Structure 1
Amino acid sequence: MYSMLKKIITEKDIHRQILLLEQLLNHSQLTAKELAKNIGTTERTVFSDLQLIRGYLPEYWTLDSDKNGIRLNLQENSLTNDIWKSFLPHSASLQLVKKLFFAKEINVPRFLEETGISYETLKRHRTKINRQLQPFHIKIRLTTTQASLVGAESAIRIFFHRLLLPFTHNNYFFEDYSIHEEHYLYFLTKKITTDLSVDTEQIFGICWFFINTIRIKAGCSIDDFNFDAEDPLFSLYAPLLQELYEKEGVYLKDKEIFFAFFCFLESWNYNHPLGKKVSTVLNEDYPLLQEKAQQTVEDIAKEMGLQLLLQTNLATNLLLLLLKYAESPALSKQFQLEYQELLLKKNEEYTILTEKGRELFSSLPQFSTVGDMDYFVNLFSLLSQQAIFTIRPYKKTVFFIFQSEPAWKTFLQQELADLLGKRIKLIPLEVSQLQSETLQAGDLIISNIPLNSPPLPVAYISSIPTKNELDQLTEFTSHSYL
């Protein structure tokens, strides 16, 4: 199930049943005791929930149990999405959000009649949902007669994009609304010629196409913001986007056409070649951004002693990142709301990237209206690290201090190297050699013997490592962006 969807399902019992279904979908078989432990409830509650879930299951799905455990079984050609399609309508809170997606406002008495809940219950759902909407700077306004979403329309659409992206191919949200995905795919593959070609996140863009079409038809106009109608990149794609939306009966004008273009631009992938005409426009019409991107890469390469960095795609990637902000700082500020969890992550290994990202952002006065630069710096750091790793793949050295039968030690060393992956350099070492090694911050020791005053953190394992020890070792070494 998808994290944003679970956040807006405010009924505790339905939320718990969703967790149960997730467990059964992810495991071939579990006991009631295991299910209760995994979701933090009692076995009695598990059995009660399972009875309800049986009644919700669509055709071709069965819930079976015996002395070995509980299983969720499906017949051939059955889809997991069918479960959610049958199960999710039982959540009144989700129904409220769904109806507010398709309409500017909804009739509350009619909604109460359809869902069979009281107005007081609806108010409680509204309060809980609004807590989840707060980071997007939107909320549900509720009276005894009407309910509506309040806030910037662009922020409302950004929230729905985050919510609905996993459901773009799922009929649950779009079954009552005829939108043609093939129109967007035709736009990407046929209307965007070789000279205009770009590599995109298709589902990301299709979801925006759906959301913009539905919200415009619902009479929910995008907010006023400043944009350059003569912008060269915008001018390349605006006519094609207008033609695309016209196939859905939507005639984009002014800020709506620019918003559609901005959504399309947000879907552009990095590290992919651009069409000849696109490259020409970027090279000739955005000289300042190109100069800033190139100079930043040169500075990083010089300070890190990585001249090969100049041969990577980093300068082009940074130019694209800058473009996404330069086209509309106002929209960029709002689009940062969609993936706020990136702001929680930091990387201390490459402090120079934080420094250079901040310098680049601050050197462009038009970005000042964005305010907080942390999100930009995070994206800058991610793109830079990806380029660095292409030429310097090892990010961590792990010293293997292990005393055992030599053949087993050799075998285990190879197994651990395969487990930890190519980002880890695994070096066998004797205790007596440890002090003579050149150690770096972030390095690690794996050992099956006690070490006195080790100069680095130690992950202790058994002579025959257990699953928990291997899981912890992977956790220690696999998360580079923390």
Structure 2
Amino acid sequence: MYSLLKKIITEKDIHRHVSLLEQLLNHPKITAKELSLQIQTTERTIFSDLQLIREQLPDGWQIETSAQGIQLIKEKNQSTNELWTLFLPQSISVRFIKELFFHKVIKTSEFLRANGLSLETLKRHTSKINQHLLAYNINIQLTAKQAKLSGEESAIRVFFHRLLIPFTHNNYFFEEYVIHEEHYFQFLNQLNRSSLAVETEQIFGTCWFFINTIRIKANCRVHAFRFNEKDPLYQLYRDKLKKLYEKEGVYLLEEEAFFAFFCFLESWNYNNKYSKKNILTNFYPVLATIAEQLTAQVSQQSQVDFQYSSLSENLLLLLLKYSESTWLSEQFQLEYQELIAVRKDSGHYRSDEEILAILQPAIQLKNPKYLINLISLLEQQAFFALRPELLTVYFLFQGEPAWKVFLQQELTDLLGRRIHLKSLELTQLYTTKFSAQDLIVSNFSLEDMPVPVIHISNIPTKNELRQLTELTLKNYLL
């Protein structure tokens, strides 16, 4: 769940401790052997690290070891926030990245003095961090006088979004986040009561709101880029987004206003229900035609009628995200680079060349592979959705919307026809009436739920999937 953050942690011992805590939080019980395999260390090191962690645990937490395995136990009112607030700041690299998030430039001497470091030590940490920033086309520039993040501000924000999204919801070491979250949810509630209602990834969007406001306040502005000020969808949401940011004392200029709109658009769910019927089709007829051509082509090749599916609407939304700003689209696809490789080879789907031929009149990308992959995910989801399904597990997942809808369908097929897999958003969580046999599957931490919570990664591991299938197997035993 915290893969990017763990890459940023440059200290090997702290990296192991965080990984251990993550595993213990995500498994009711786990053996030392399983932990050593997951963390790729020896069982002796596991027991040594567990002892160090025990000595530092806050009140209300304890680690118990038995013949059945190792268990992290907390008292009822304890929050995992206490653990991360204690252990994550032990890493110099985490403290350094946090400072660079809140400030455009930091004085090297002040950071060294506050953290008891030498310049050479900080340079070694910086060099290791920069290795993981390469994929985002950014880096930390460190001199004896100052340190700053260098690169496109949009790419910097994409990096922080990927880094922070597992943490911000539970307010891990970000005291201001809860205020941003309240403002953003008020914004969504107002939209939902208006003609502009749209279903969105709530944590995904809130995290973008938080990052944008913090970076603007730090005077880290998105560079000028080309966009259509008269774009009809932008015109619909611009003023409401500006009012949202004004609640944080941020007054958006045009580039920042469009960037905020683009972040909001990125949070739109697929299989959406728009309050304005045919809103996208009416505004973007060229893209609608391309989406229909893609749908017709895959229908012909798969011999499946997608007329009554959401495929055409989903493809239109995906194409819209890319057509609004090709430059921003290419920046944003840096966030989920590992999803490029997640694509099934099947006779039902066209070659890249066939897809590109249809896209060519409206969208030209330097590297279209990611877009083509997302098209494939949406087509596969629509194909699988036509199969009869019964669901029973609640699915709370925050991430790239196309990947979410595809992963939900994959989990549905994995769990089988007797399991009801139902997508749930954060604001629905506390109003849902759970039955005793229900489960929750989530890729972010949930506190004090009335039913068991199964934690999965963005790309679920074999162990996570095995745990999920084992817990749902009883539904097949008569």
Confirm or deny a common fold (TM above 0.5).
Answer: yes
Distance 1:261 1:125, change over 3 A: same
How far residue 35 of structure 1 moved from its aligned partner, in angstroms, is 4.1
- From 356, 361, 364, give the equivalent of 1:363: 361
Q: Counterparts of 2:31 and 2:335 in 1: how far apart (Å)?
A: 38
How far residue 161 of structure 1 moved from its aligned partner, in angstroms, is 0.5
Q: Counterparts of 2:366 and 2:378 in 1: how far apart (Å)?
A: 21
Which residue does 2:280 correspond to in 1?
A: 282
Name the amino acid aligned to 1:157.
R
Which residue does 2:328 correspond to in 1?
A: 331
Does 1:312 pair with 2:309? Answer: yes
Contact 2:343 2:377 in 1 (8 A): no
Contact 1:357 1:381 in 2 (8 A): no
Q: Counterparts of 1:71 and 1:81 in 2: how far apart (Å)?
A: 18
How far residue 363 of structure 1 moved from its aligned partner, in angstroms, is 3.2
Q: Provide, for residues 268-317 of structure 1, a one-character-per-residue CA deviation record: whole Å limited to 9, x for no partner.
A: 001121122xx45423331111111112212221232223x122111111
Mapping for residues 385-424 of structure 1, pairs under 5 Å: 385-392=380-387, 421-422=416-417
Q: Counterparts of 1:419 and 1:285 in 2: how far apart (Å)?
A: 38
How far residue 139 of structure 1 moved from its aligned partner, in angstroms, is 0.3
How far residue 251 of structure 1 moved from its aligned partner, in angstroms, is 0.3
Q: Give the share of equivalent positions with the same residue, in percent.
A: 55
Name the amino acid aligned to 1:337.
L
Name the amino acid aligned to 2:380.
Q
Q: Provide, for residues 192-242 of structure 1, a one-character-per-residue CA deviation record: whole Å limited to 9, x for no partner.
A: 543211100011100000000000000000011100111111000000000
Which residue does 1:239 correspond to in 2?
A: 239
Distance 1:26 1:288, change over 3 A: closer
Which of 1 and 2 has greater Rg?
A: 1
Name the amino acid aligned to 2:50.
L
Q: Counterparts of 1:50 and 1:243 in 2: how far apart (Å)?
A: 49
Q: Counterparts of 1:85 and 1:268 in 2: how far apart (Å)?
A: 31
SS in 2 for 1:73: strand
Which residue does 1:341 correspond to in 2?
A: 338
Distance 1:350 1:10, change over 3 A: farther
How far residue 351 of structure 1 moved from its aligned partner, in angstroms, is 5.8
Does 1:259 pair with 2:254? Answer: no
Q: Counterparts of 1:256 and 1:304 in 2: how far apart (Å)?
A: 43
Does 1:382 pair with 2:367? Answer: no
Does 1:229 pair with 2:229? Answer: yes
Q: Provide, for residues 137-161 of structure 1, a one-character-per-residue CA deviation record: whole Å limited to 9, x for no partner.
A: 0000001121100000000000000
Contact 1:8 1:129 in 2 (8 A): yes
SS in 2 for 1:140: strand
Name the amino acid aligned to 1:311.
Y
Name the amino acid aligned to 1:54.
R
Which residue does 2:319 correspond to in 1?
A: 322
How far residue 38 of structure 1 moved from its aligned partner, in angstroms, is 4.4
Which residue does 1:292 correspond to in 2?
A: 290
Contact 1:36 1:46 in 2 (8 A): yes
How far residue 393 of structure 1 moved from its aligned partner, in angstroms, is 6.4
How far residue 178 of structure 1 moved from its aligned partner, in angstroms, is 7.2
Q: Which ranges in structure 2 are unaligned for 5 or more consecutive residues?
A: 390-412, 419-461, 470-478
Contact 2:171 2:178 in 1 (8 A): no
SS in 2 for 1:310: coil
Contact 2:388 2:417 in 1 (8 A): yes
Q: Provide, for residues 320-352 of structure 1, a one-character-per-residue CA deviation record: whole Å limited to 9, x for no partner.
A: 111101111110011110000011223211463
How far residue 65 of structure 1 moved from its aligned partner, in angstroms, is 4.3
Q: Provide, for residues 15-55 of structure 1, a one-character-per-residue CA deviation record: whole Å limited to 9, x for no partner.
A: 11122223333444455555445433334433432232123
Q: Which runs of 4+ in 1 moved over 6 A?
A: none
Q: Counterparts of 1:289 and 1:27 in 2: how far apart (Å)?
A: 45
Which residue does 1:353 correspond to in 2?
A: 350
Which residue does 1:55 correspond to in 2?
A: 55
Contact 1:354 1:377 in 2 (8 A): no
Distance 1:354 1:379, change over 3 A: farther
Q: CA RMSD in A?
A: 2.8
SS in 2 for 1:171: coil
Q: Counterparts of 2:178 and 2:26 in 1: how far apart (Å)?
A: 32
Q: Counterparts of 1:315 and 1:184 in 2: how far apart (Å)?
A: 29
Q: Counterparts of 1:272 and 1:36 in 2: how far apart (Å)?
A: 43
Contact 1:106 1:146 in 2 (8 A): yes
Which residue does 2:442 correspond to in 1?
A: none
Name the amino acid aligned to 1:306.
V
How far residue 67 of structure 1 moved from its aligned partner, in angstroms, is 7.0
Which residue does 2:207 correspond to in 1?
A: 207
Q: Counterparts of 1:69 and 1:387 in 2: how far apart (Å)?
A: 42
Name the amino acid aligned to 2:303.
G
Which range moves more in the overlay, 169-178 or 146-155? Answer: 169-178
Higher relative contact order, chain-length normalized (CA < 8 Å, sep 6+): 2
Q: Counterparts of 2:285 and 2:36 in 1: how far apart (Å)?
A: 60
Distance 1:71 1:269, change over 3 A: closer
Name the amino acid aligned to 1:61.
W
The TM-score with structure 2 as length reference comes to 0.78
Mapping for residues 85-100 of structure 1, pairs under 5 Å: 85-100=85-100
Does 1:143 pair with 2:143? Answer: yes
Q: Which ranges in structure 1 are unaligned for 5 or more consecutive residues?
A: 395-417, 424-466, 475-482
The TM-score with structure 1 as length reference comes to 0.77
Q: Counterparts of 2:278 and 2:382 in 1: how far apart (Å)?
A: 23
Q: Counterparts of 1:216 and 1:192 in 2: how far apart (Å)?
A: 27
Distance 1:244 1:420, change over 3 A: closer
How far residue 260 of structure 1 moved from its aligned partner, in angstroms, is 0.2
Which range moves more in the overlay, 209-218 or 291-300? Answer: 291-300
Mapping for residues 44-83 of structure 1, pairs under 5 Å: 44-65=44-65, 70-83=70-83
